[in-house]
Structure 1
Amino acid sequence: MSAAASIIHQFGHPGEVVELFEQPIPEPGAGEVVVQMQRSVINPSDLITISGAYRSRIALPFQPGYEGTGVVVACGDGVTYPAVGTQVLPIGLPGSWSTYKLTPAQWCIPVSEGLSLEQAATLYVNPATAWLMLHDRARVQPGMRVVISAGASEIGRMLIRLLNQVGIEPVVTVRRRSSLPRLQGLALETVLFTEAPDFDHALQPGSVDLLLDAVGGEVGMALARCLKPGGHLIHYGLLSGQPLAADLPLQLSGVTFELFVLRHWIHQAEKSSIHALFRTLESLMLAGTVSSNIDSVFQLADIHKAFKRIDDPDRDGKVLLDLM
């Protein structure tokens, strides 16, 4: 038997380089399981990887997709958990834009029956990144002045809700005024529009404790210059396609600069800490704190239509793949 899978043989625009092919259903080896994927997410980080931004650490051919949920359908020798029939998040390795994913059993996180497929599929990348940046890296405290770039994004809104829980009303940036409806109901200090000239003049230099930057480029640099001595910059995305200046840590004397990569935390943490994190995230997901809007769901065969939807400025939320 065979199943559908996605692959790239060269870097470039996803609509041009992502291919679908038929591959045999994998057989698990010792310590491995096969997960029949049900829903997978197309994240900006996936598209940036496919573009070649991280080509120095990605070997080709490459099977994309870091986030999704499915059911264990086969276990290799020595695997006692998760058992066949368990709903899991297979984290830590790519390959989720495929009907079946072969993965080490130790990287499977069991999912509560209380979560829908859409909730389970989106429980990993954004929620874990948001929670860890705030509570593991920055250790946010009431009274801190926080700035979030791309505040109307799915992860931006998660960060705002998590900050609101500790009494912080952050400053956020958005590109356009049309994004304002997505921020309704959230407690904010102010909204800055990055397409406006000198958008950063509303922030005084040395007035910001923490910057969470997913944009990079000129926007990220302008915001970074507003950090206090002793402030903290966490850079975790590259939505502009432009990196921050290589000498930024030297420019910002006394500021802690940190590049947050979820994969690094996941591969360095104790497994008990990872499972504890997901128990926390499940509770927050059920409460709506780290939930995502779902814009649309496409069959894997229509993945190129999904890419076009992602580029649509009217999109509101995550684009998922239905792999069932």
Structure 2
Amino acid sequence: MKTILFYKSGKPEDVLEVDERPLPEPQPGEVRIKVIASPVNPSDLMFIQNLYGIRPQFPSGAGFEGVGIVDALGEGVQMRTGMRVSFTSIGTWSEYAIAHQRSLIPVPDAMPDEVAAQLFVNPFTAYAMLQESGVQANQWLMLTAAGSAFSKMVIQLCKMKGIKTIGTVRRDDLNDELKALGLTEVINTETENLAGRVKQLTEGKGVACVLDAVGGHVATEAQKCLCKGGVMLIYGLLSLQDPTLNAGLMIFRELTIKGFWLTDWMRRVDSQTRQGVAQNVISLLASGKIQLPVEATYSLDEIQQAVDHADRQGRHGKVLIKM
């Protein structure tokens, strides 16, 4: 089978290779999946650079999620082959992948492959983080890196829940699209004072929560935008720079600043909560109420072009690898 491997950490376009490997056999509790499509997510690119919470074991596959057809069953797996499933694993950029049966989500017929391929990482994180934030209708929530696929998902969820949103951008070319999705206000951090503008928009109250993917100066300034008792959930570090924490703000506004990683959240919550999130996410995506646009698709042989495209600023949708 054709698969993507890397033998050392580094820039994805430099270290990823197309390789031929024997067809893998599922172990007890596992299934083999004939992969249809897999997205290129920021977490995939961080993993390849050894900057993620999970460390690669060389040679390593790449890609954390995808959609495919169950092709073979390991011992003890009670399900049928031929099912179309969304799944998570390490090594989804491949013609075939191995996944544990617990990671599989049966996909409704109404859901296109392009949506099912993106079912887990961004939608689950968006839904779970919104729950974790505790933000209620008519309160303000701020998103850094508002043009990302994740932020677009959160914007749509907030609109449905009546939550007002502020999104930060560095360029204005996505502003109309973000407003059309439901973003209440856009702030360009290159040309506007973030804290001052948020104070104006919220009538001096501040935002109840910041979901931060950037770190560095943007996250440092975003702390100033939180209301008393506000929460900042940090889920990324696109700038590769740590923010500076303001102890005075944390003390006198009683702020909470903490990290969020979907892998740990899934382990921490009970099965009923996980199933509830899954049912809600699938329902929203299958009905078309939430959109997950795709900007471009590439083959395994075009992996360098795919990861380069996925890392560009100003994309309007996800980059997919189709097998």
Task: Using structure 1 for the length normalisation, give the TM-score.
Answer: 0.91
Alpha-carbon separation, structure 2, partners of 1:22 and 1:234: 41
Q: Which of 150, 153, 165 is the equivalent residue of 2:145?
A: 150
Q: Does 1:209 align with 2:205?
A: no
Contact 1:63/1:94 (<8 A) preserved? yes
Corresponding residue for residue 48 of structure 1: 46
1:191, distance to aligned residue in structure 2 (A): 1.1
Alpha-carbon separation, structure 2, partners of 1:250 and 1:46: 36
Q: Which of 82, 85, 90 is the equivalent residue of 1:85?
A: 82
Q: Does 1:160 align with 2:143?
A: no
Contact 1:158/1:289 (<8 A) preserved? no
Q: Once the two structures are superposed, what CA deviation does each residue of 1:231-274 show, in whole Å capped at 9, x if it has no partner?
A: 110111222222323x5678622211121111112234444543
Deviates more, 1:201-210 or 1:231-240: 201-210
Corresponding residue for residue 138 of structure 1: 133
- Give 5+ residue unaligned stretches, structure 2: none
1:126, distance to aligned residue in structure 2 (A): 0.7
Q: Which amino acid aligns with 1:128?
A: F
Q: Does 1:108 align with 2:104?
A: yes
Alpha-carbon separation, structure 1, partners of 2:314 and 2:75: 48
Contact 1:35/1:73 (<8 A) preserved? yes
Corresponding residue for residue 34 of structure 2: 36
Q: Describe the SS at the equivalent of 2:43.
A: helix
Contact 1:148/1:212 (<8 A) preserved? yes
1:315, distance to aligned residue in structure 2 (A): 3.4
Corresponding residue for residue 74 of structure 2: 76
Q: Aligned pair in 2 of structure 1 residues 306, 159: CA closer, same or farther (>3 Å)?
A: same
Contact 2:47/2:55 (<8 A) preserved? no
Deviates more, 1:190-199 or 1:23-32: 190-199
CA RMSD of aligned residues (A): 2.1
Deviates more, 1:268-277 or 1:120-129: 268-277
Alpha-carbon separation, structure 2, partners of 1:309 and 1:279: 32
Alpha-carbon separation, structure 1, partners of 2:37 and 2:147: 24
Q: Describe the SS at the equivalent of 2:114.
A: helix
After TM superposition, the structure 1 = structure 2 runs for residues 192-271 of structure 1, keeping only pairs within 5 Å, are: 192-196=187-191, 198-204=193-199, 207-245=206-244, 247=245, 252-253=250-251, 254-271=254-271
Alpha-carbon separation, structure 1, partners of 2:57 and 2:255: 34
Q: Aligned pair in 2 of structure 1 residues 207, 312: CA closer, same or farther (>3 Å)?
A: closer
Q: Describe the SS at the equivalent of 1:123.
A: coil
1:130, distance to aligned residue in structure 2 (A): 0.6
Alpha-carbon separation, structure 1, partners of 2:135 and 2:33: 37
Corresponding residue for residue 166 of structure 2: 171
Contact 1:192/1:200 (<8 A) preserved? no
Alpha-carbon separation, structure 2, partners of 1:5 and 1:314: 29
Q: Describe the SS at the equivalent of 1:69.
A: strand
1:15, distance to aligned residue in structure 2 (A): 0.2
Alpha-carbon separation, structure 2, partners of 1:215 and 1:131: 19
Deviates more, 1:108-117 or 1:182-191: 182-191
1:286, distance to aligned residue in structure 2 (A): 2.5
Contact 2:31/2:71 (<8 A) preserved? yes
Alpha-carbon separation, structure 2, partners of 1:231 and 1:27: 49
- Give 5+ residue unaligned stretches, structure 1: none
Q: Which amino acid aligns with 2:14?
A: E
Q: Which of 20, 24, 27 is the equivalent residue of 1:22?
A: 20
Task: Using structure 2 for the length normalisation, give the TM-score.
Answer: 0.91
Deviates more, 1:303-312 or 1:22-31: 303-312
Deviates more, 1:215-224 or 1:60-69: 60-69
Q: Once the two structures are superposed, what CA deviation does each residue of 1:193-230 show, in whole Å capped at 9, x if it has no partner?
A: 01115343212376121111111111111011221231
Alpha-carbon separation, structure 2, partners of 1:59 and 1:261: 20
| Matched-pair identity in % | 33
Alpha-carbon separation, structure 2, partners of 1:286 and 1:113: 9
1:16, distance to aligned residue in structure 2 (A): 0.2
Contact 2:229/2:255 (<8 A) preserved? yes
Q: Which amino acid aligns with 2:124?
A: A
Alpha-carbon separation, structure 2, partners of 1:207 and 1:220: 15
Alpha-carbon separation, structure 2, partners of 1:307 and 1:31: 32
Q: Which of 83, 91, 96 is the equivalent residue of 2:92?
A: 96
Alpha-carbon separation, structure 1, partners of 2:271 and 2:24: 25
